[in-house]
Chain A
């Protein structure tokens, strides 16, 4: 190919917002002021913030982190300063940078989600990512994201109130991920992101004690990539709305796999914890991978995969 060495066009459209590249930061693994000490945030496709609740949440006691083979468990418990402090202190800082801001929204009740969505409606936030892995305190603590009816309810109510496009972020701790995906699509979700962490636990055998203070925690990192990729692939074939893929992405080729599976963009999470430069290194590797393979656009790369699969 003659223009094999030409820089590829990495731009993508994610549910109506234009991203200069498909690399975003996964919620809860990115702190603008701290991550920005290692690289220029302007290089990112989009900045996804940590989960924001209507009020400050103090999170779980320590230990909150347990390393596992090729991954980690976290039980941070969605510690956050609440939406008012977020709008006052975090957003003005983020506004100095060019990539769009996607605000991750958490709640314990449907009203919680709606209060955050409403508060963010008249801000510079480009899009919401609604984390429905949280337990619903009004339904005995069952995760919103594990029941199609509850997932649909949150989607409907948030969509009703929000002036911003809404991604619903799915929990992988379900039997059939496509059922939940269809439920949120039918209630008007603008897109889906997946996967959140897989529920796990860790025991400190030498102390004969459960390691995390919370008991269980969410598994993330390279260890979960095959599960995440399978779910992204299935969901991309079950719904028409765009998908933001994540789970264990560590290299440019990992990102390419998710994009081939059908994701419009990807997020880098745990990799940024064990390598603060991961998002931009992955971006660079993706660019080099596409140049090496002769793909000029993300769409062309996805097309090649579909043709490779014979459909």
Chain B
């Protein structure tokens, strides 16, 4: 029979809001403090997420939010207000309690990146986990270029510029940077300057990921994508967040929360939307 501690390794924690700011439009950055961050920062991998548990008991299910970074003893999450849960979060003030899980899921696989350069492609609120990833790549001496897409006003650009060799920005309406989407921008950049990257990492809306997957397949660039799906538990108990993954010649339903959220793009079965 087994003893408790060998197995039990995840927990729920209560943090304190250290501050919150609006980055643009309906996108916010919340900074969270707590003793648990020591453990978090030791274990966390870029691309992991936390479950945020709401106070309003009518919103029962946890909200998964990517870890943007852990810096100066604070956990930062960047999120867009899209519904009840994120609206509640946007109402938190300094000193308020916030209930979270330990970091969940598997992050980006960096074992393939011992040297060379990486291309980071982000769309909207898919950009936050790329900030932590860029930091980690930097620590490992890997050079990175980021291509970031927004509907209109950009955010997290300066933070990315501090770490990455180069940051390119696209907005759908052309109000900032290149007018169009990230895939068009990458194609244009590739034609002009050539595209060289040993590994591509991406997080963003599914149509963007799918278009990027097509591009990377053509160019024979290895791509890892972070996927989103509606979740029940967020920790592997309910298999609510299924995604179709091609492995060993067949399609298998994997859980985004536990088997992902990061998958190899070539293994994802992209359904027509």
What 0/1 readout, one digit per residue, does chain B (216-239) give for beta carbons within 8 Å of chain A? 000000000000011111011111
- In the bound complex, do residue B231 and residue A65 qualify as a contact, i.e. CB atoms below 8 Å apart? yes
- Stretch from B4-12, B123-131, B168-176, B190-198 that touches the partner: B4-12
User: Would you call the interface of chain B mostly helix, strand, loop, or mixed?
Assistant: loop
Report the interface size for chain B: residues with CB under 8 A from the other chain: 38
Q: Hey, what's the 0/1 contact readout for A250-272 against B, CB within 8 Å counting as 1?
A: 00000000000000000000101
- Contact between B240 and A76, CB atoms less than 8 A apart: yes
Q: Is B112 an interface residue (CB 8 A)?
A: no
Contacts of B35-71 to chain A: CB distance below 8 A: 53, 57-62
Residue of A nearest to B5 (CB): A40
Q: B12 contacts A65, CB within 8 Å?
A: no
Question: Shortest beta-carbon distance, A197 to chain B, in Å?
Answer: 12
Tell me whether A37 and B253 are in contact (CB under 8 A): no
Asked if A133 lies at the interface with its beta carbon under 8 angstroms from chain B, I say no
B-side contacts of A59, CB under 8 Å: 239, 242, 253
- Interface size on A, as a range, is 35 or more
Would you give the 0/1 interface string for B251-271, flagging 1 where the beta carbon is closer than 8 Å to chain A?
111000010000000000001
Tell yes or no: A240 within 8 A of B by CB. Answer: no
Asked if residues A70 and B60 are in contact (CB atoms below 8 Å), the reply is yes
B241 within 8 A of A: yes
A227 shortest CB reach to chain B, Å: 17
Contacts of A98 in B (CB 8 A): 1
In the complex, are the beta carbons of A97 and B1 less than 8 A apart? yes
> B12 touching A275 by the CB < 8 A rule?
yes
Chain B hits for A79, CB < 8 A: 239, 242, 253
Q: Which residues of B contact A274 (CB under 8 A)?
A: 53, 60-62, 233
Question: Is B2 an interface residue, CB under 8 A from the partner?
Answer: yes
Interface string of A57-97 (1 = CB under 8 A from B): 01111111111011110101001000000000000000011
Chain B minimum-CB-distance residue to A33: B236
Contact A70 B242 (CB under 8 A): no
Complex CA distance for A274 and B229, rounded to whole angstroms: 16
Known: A273-B61, A275-B53. A61 touches B242 (CB 8 A): yes
**Nearest A residue to B61 by beta-carbon distance?**
A67
What is the CA–CA distance of A34 and B61 in the complex, to the nearest angstrom?
Answer: 17
A15 interface hit (Cβ, 8 Å): no
Please tell me if A28 contacts chain B, counting CB pairs below 8 Å.
yes
A37, B235: Cβ atoms under 8 Å?
yes
Q: Which residues from chain B contact A58 at a C-beta distance below 8 Å? A: 251-253
Residues of A within 8 A of B (CB): 28-31, 33-42, 58-67, 69-72, 74, 76, 79, 96-98, 221-222, 270, 272-277
16 contacts between A and B (CB under 8 A): A31-B237, A37-B7, A41-B7, A42-B1, A59-B253, A61-B242, A61-B271, A62-B229, A64-B239, A70-B60, A76-B242, A96-B1, A273-B233, A274-B62, A276-B12, A276-B235
Question: Across chains A and B, which 3 residue pairs bring their CB atoms closest together, nearest first?
Answer: A34-B236, A40-B4, A65-B240
